[in-house]
């Protein structure tokens, strides 16, 4: 055995994983005393910092009592489950973080199931015990029950529990006894997580992650499962389909602190980064040159949703983006598939459009947002759930939906969910909130969050996870209101918006350039209405005292990308550019829309 521990940190979104890693890095003296680090050190890209969530898993390592601990920080959101599934292969144990008030949430169940199935040794950390209304003992019981329901082994059921607060930087074996540091957790890792075993034999290493450097290109990251990997060593790359490519290792790195250190060789059990291998994909095996043996290919759950990605063909195309052609769009989507295992791209009949399959709205919106920031212009259609035929019957994805709301608005939430074919399974008090659990088609969740937050004045806490494919539940009512569509190209005027305010709520401010067919706002009725927001006031050379009305305009509604994706219907697109986001009809003129109306009636 060697002095290495490989551990993954898993939890539901926002239960404190990345904050805990910060504290571990600080307490193991990774930084100089005068070094400025800030918070959430590992959430290092702009999107992660803005949204406050981890999107891509990260590797770091610390040394504690002469033992090297490799830590893998994983995303907590169900849409990034593909990321979690592949990196758990590098770990020997998991730290399962759970909020002392919220308890085991849907994503806690999902990641725990994956970890237990791989036979990983768990340590449970009940975090945020400094919160009001927290219930550490109940949460412990809840997690034990969860482990039991997920068929954990007796050894896994005998898990150690650590209580504490990542934010305040303390951990303890008893939540009533507050300590000064997180070392009780570090000691629990050394005592309970098995050391990385040394496995003799020919080389085997599975690529479970990748990195990119502008100097050396793509870097393969994985854990050496057997044997020793050396610099300048000739190797075989066994592809997922069994084909074998011959290659050579140019450079080897292991993880130290937040960075990488160049080494001559890496023994089995350690996690390393390999430079010099061409044409690899995640899931491939780096094996012995003469006698290559493949490791079991990583299985990733199927996507549940797809969206049409197409080039921007609006009247404003090419004004704001650098990359606007279908060739650029195709290259970018296929490049994303290399590292995003839960994503799938399928070509359509049109050379300008691609169907992109993903895990959910957030999974796809993060891709769109990343592309937008890189300078791409594109249009996306309405998200559609993936329907399967099983035993001659139409089946659709069903999800478990959990909503925690104040008791007085629980009735409104139940009404909204049941309208969308949701079934109420559990209703029980949780602190001062009502805890509701439903089963609902994935289609029903699209657009539900906005309605629930509006009905509960923003106080609802929602989470959902994929359950299974079940028979089709029938039609679900879509958006109840029509939209206001622009009649002309030009610049919006305050005069026109003011005069049309009784027809609906607007998405644009005065002085904004618009084009024919662009969606300007939401109509008060269920049909679409064509409006002219470009028209200015007719001016005369007579000055009339007191007859000019001062315009009073309600503020425009601004959608986030996810809200827009949930809002649009089958005959609409979102136009996404580096500088703006517009909603539009697929057919811009009213005449074309009438001719093609039957296409979208289903």
Instruction: Report the binding-site residues for GTP.
Output: 14-19, 127-130
- Cβ atoms of 265 and 231 within 8 Å: the answer is yes
Dmax (CA) for the chain in angstroms is 96
The helix/strand/coil state of 106 is helix
- Cβ atoms of 157 and 148 within 8 Å: the answer is yes
- Cβ atoms of 88 and 118 within 8 Å: the answer is yes
In 279-392, where do the E strands start and end?
Answer: 285-288, 305-311, 344-347, 353-358, 378-380, 384-385, 388-390
Instruction: Please give the Cα distance from 344 to 208 (Å, whole number).
Output: 18
- Cβ atoms of 52 and 107 within 8 Å: the answer is no
In b/e form, how buried is each residue of 402-435, taking b as 16+ CB within 10 angstroms? bbbbeeebbebbbebbeebbbebeeeeeeeebbb
The closest alpha carbon to 305, from 254, 346, 357, belongs to 357
H or E element, residue 127: strand 121-127
Under DSSP, the state recorded for 376 is B
Instruction: Please give the Cα distance from 126 to 40 (Å, whole number).
Output: 19
What is the helix, strand, coil percentage profile of the chain, to 5?
Answer: 25, 35, 40
User: Tokens at residue 356, please?
Assistant: 């992109």
- For 383-446, the DSSP string reads -EEPPEEETTEEEEEEEEEEEEEEGGGHHHHHHHHHHTT-EEEEEEEETTEEEEEEEEEHHHHT
- Cβ atoms of 507 and 519 within 8 Å: the answer is yes
**DSSP alpha helix (H) spans, 43-182:** 46-51, 81-87, 106-117, 136-149, 154-157
- Cβ atoms of 149 and 172 within 8 Å: the answer is no
Instruction: Please give the Cα distance from 566 to 414 (Å, whole number).
Output: 20
What are phi and psi for residue 585, nearest 5 degrees? -80, 150
Q: Give the distance from CA 292 to its chain's centroid.
A: 35
Sign, Cα dihedral of 43, 93, 270, 212: negative
Under DSSP, the state recorded for 15 is S
* 3-state SS record for 495-510: HHHHHCHHHEEECCCC
Query: Which residue ranges are tagged as binding site?
Result: 14-19, 127-130
The closest alpha carbon to 140, from 172, 163, 113, 109, belongs to 163
User: Tokens at residue 313, please?
Assistant: 């063909």
User: Tokens at residue 514, please?
Assistant: 């618009």
Angle between helices 183-192 and 17-27 (to 10 degrees): 100
């Amino acid at each position: 055995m060697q002095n290495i521990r490989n551990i993954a940190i898993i939890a539901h979104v926002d239960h404190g994983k990345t904050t805990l890693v910060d504290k571990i890095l600080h307490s193991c003296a990774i930084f100089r005393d005068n070094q400025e680090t800030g918070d959430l050190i590992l959430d290092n890209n702009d999107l992660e910092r803005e949204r406050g969530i981890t999107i891509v898993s990260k590797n770091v390592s610390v040394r504690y009592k002469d033992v090297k601990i490799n830590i893998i920080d994983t995303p907590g959101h169900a849409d990034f489950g593909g990321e979690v599934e592949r990196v758990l292969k590098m770990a020997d144990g998991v730290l399962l973080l759970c909020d002392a008030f919220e308890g085991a949430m849907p994503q806690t169940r999902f990641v725990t199931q994956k970890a237990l199935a791989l036979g990983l040794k768990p340590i449970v950390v009940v975090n945020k015990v400094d919160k009001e209304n927290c219930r550490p003992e109940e949460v412990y019981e809840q997690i034990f029950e969860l482990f039991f329901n997920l068929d954990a082994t007796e050894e896994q059921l005998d898990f150690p529990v650590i209580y504490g607060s990542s934010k305040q930087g303390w951990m303890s074996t008893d939540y009533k006894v507050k300590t000064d540091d997180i070392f009780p957790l570090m000691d629990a890792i050394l005592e309970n997580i098995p050391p990385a075993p040394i496995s003799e034999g020919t080389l085997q290493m599975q690529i479970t992650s990748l990195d990119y450097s502008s100097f050396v290109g793509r870097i393969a990251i994985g854990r050496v499962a057997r044997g020793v990997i050396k610099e300048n060593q000739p190797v075989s790359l066994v592809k997922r389909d069994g084909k074998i490519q011959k290659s050579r290792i140019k450079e080897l790195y292991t993880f130290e602190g937040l960075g990488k250190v160049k080494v001559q060789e890496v023994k089995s059990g350690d996690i390393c980064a390999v430079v010099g291998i061409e044409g690899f994909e995640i899931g491939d095996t780096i094996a012995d040159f003469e006698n290559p043996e493949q490791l079991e290919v990583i299985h990733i759950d199927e996507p549940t949703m797809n969206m049409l990605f197409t080039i921007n063909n609006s009247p404003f195309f090419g004004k704001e983006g650098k990359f606007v052609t279908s060739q650029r769009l195709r290259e970018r989507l296929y490049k994303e598939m290399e590292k995003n295992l839960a994503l799938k791209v399928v070509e359509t009949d049109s050379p300008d459009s691609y169907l992109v399959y993903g895990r959910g709205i957030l999974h796809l919106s993060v891709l769109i947002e990343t592309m937008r920031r890189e300078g791409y212009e594109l249009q996306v259609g309405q998200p559609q759930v993936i329907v399967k035929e099983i035993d001659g019957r139409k089946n659709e994805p069903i999800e478990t939906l959990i909503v925690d709301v104040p008791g007085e608005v629980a009735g409104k939430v139940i009404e909204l969910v049941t309208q969308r074919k949701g079934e109420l399974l559990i209703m029980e008090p949780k602190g001062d909130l009502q805890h509701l659990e439903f089963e609902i088609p994935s289609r029903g969740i699209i657009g539900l969050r906005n309605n629930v937050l509006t009905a509960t004045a923003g106080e609802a806490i929602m989470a959902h996870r994929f359950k299974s494919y079940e028979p089709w539940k029938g039609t679900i009512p879509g958006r109840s209101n029509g939209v206001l569509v622009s009649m002309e190209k030009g610049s919006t005027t305050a005069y026109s918006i003011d005069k049309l305010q009784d027809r609906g709520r607007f998405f644009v401010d005065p002085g904004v350039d618009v084009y024919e067919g662009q969606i300007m706002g939401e109509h008060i009725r269920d049909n679409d209405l064509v409006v002219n927001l470009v028209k200015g006031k007719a001016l005369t050379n007579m000055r009339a005292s007191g007859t000019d009305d001062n315009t009073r305009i309600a503020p425009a509604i601004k959608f986030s990308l996810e809200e827009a994706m949930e809002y649009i219907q089958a005959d609409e697109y979102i136009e996404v550019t580096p500088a703006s986001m517009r909603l539009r009809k697929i057919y811009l003129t009213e005449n074309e829309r009438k001719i093609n109306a039957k296409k979208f009636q289903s």
